[in-house]
Amino acid sequence: MPLKSWIETANAPDCDFPIQNLPYGVFSIGGDAPRCGVAIGDRIVDLAAAEAQGYLDAGGSFSAPQLNDFIALGIVKWTEIRGVLTALLAQDGDQNIPTVAMADATMHMPIRVTEYTDFYASKNHAFNVGVLFRGPENALPAQWTHMPIGYNGRASSVVVSGTDIIRPMGQLKGEDGPLWSACKRLDLELELGAVVGANTAMGERISVEQAEQMIFGYVLLNDWSARDIQAWEYQPLGPFQAKAFATTISPWIVTQAALEPFRSEGAPRVNPLLPYLQESRPGFYDLNLSWSLNGDVLSRTNYNVMYYSSAQQLAHHTSSGCPMRVGDLLGSGTISGPTPDSTGALLEMTEGGKKPVKVGDGERTFLQDGDIVTLDGYAQGDGYRVGFGPCTGTIVSAKE
């Protein structure tokens, strides 16, 4: 029998936030200041109030409007607080711990994003997109199966679920040169984001095992993409303005501890990795992922299709001596399975806009103003599931 909580809604088998999960976020009620909380059923444990009342000891960090100060306390403190909360919220726990109704709360950015790096770690996605841009013979770059490929994104445009996404303006390729226009090929990307929970020094390299200990948890992540702007700008240095305008993350950070029972092998290796990227145990998770457009689910996939884990990405990020910071966000790259209905982006699903997909009573090749995109994800346990809650964004017209 799975562990149960005295909060009955947490015991429903389809609840995203059972006692086995306990994800962290930042919330406010009415005009109150934002503070840290933990989701359980349809309630939020007010961690700032719980600490003030002596239930927890996190050095006062839970009264901050981001989780960075708590995360910086390290893995020993993360483990301690998770154990205390599990005991308090279990069926025989303390029902006086302060909670609020989730329905009354406004969710905020859970962390102050210090840096944002996005990777390209699904072999299916990399091959499909490579075919569109370079043909099947040159779809995968020669180095792709040897190291995680990524680019440095913009921390300043990472926003929390529910934030409207403004269609970007930019340079597009015209017949006789560049055109200035609103993006006409706006896309989503279904990703998982890893939250870095420790600093490293400049010049310091870390192993994959050390990287695992540094990851605090995960969020759903939508790397919005302006495909026409990207096609014109991406050579020779990769994406720039096509990716800089917005990235959406889910409000709840699901901890690595909560995902531990769901470890999974990733995609089969094409060739051995260099020693610094080799894992001693599987670094992926059996996470059911999907995305929907205006309420219609268009794709279902799983995180275990990925080729590089977040720990491998983090280890590679430090391989040059690049310093990492608490609150750094690492995007997994688009999570795509082998079939059209398991792809993580419209670019793949529509084969570059050639094959429209049915949405409601109409069709789409790329996103239109007013479209609502929702990412969902959960790991299925025995009688419970560990979920992220939805990650949504609504497209609004460009500021021309």
Cβ contact 113:146 at 8 Å: no
- Which of 125, 146, 316, 317 is flagged as catalytic? 125
Distance, in Å, from the CA atom of 213 to the CA atom of 199, rounded to the nearest integer, reads 12
Cβ contact 155:384 at 8 Å: no
Cβ contact 132:347 at 8 Å: yes
For the chain, what percentages of helix, strand and coil (3-state, to nearest 5) are there? 25, 30, 45
Distance (Å) of CA 268 to CA 118, 170, 288: 22, 39, 19
Our answer to whether residue 108 is catalytic in this structure is no
Distance, in Å, from the CA atom of 88 to the CA atom of 98, rounded to the nearest integer, reads 11
Where does residue 87 rank: exposed (0-12), middle (13-18), buried (19+ CB within 10 A)? exposed
Query: What residues does 5 pair with on adjacent strands?
Result: 90
Tokens of 1: 């029998």
Cβ contact 354:361 at 8 Å: no
- Annotated catalytic sites, by residue? 125
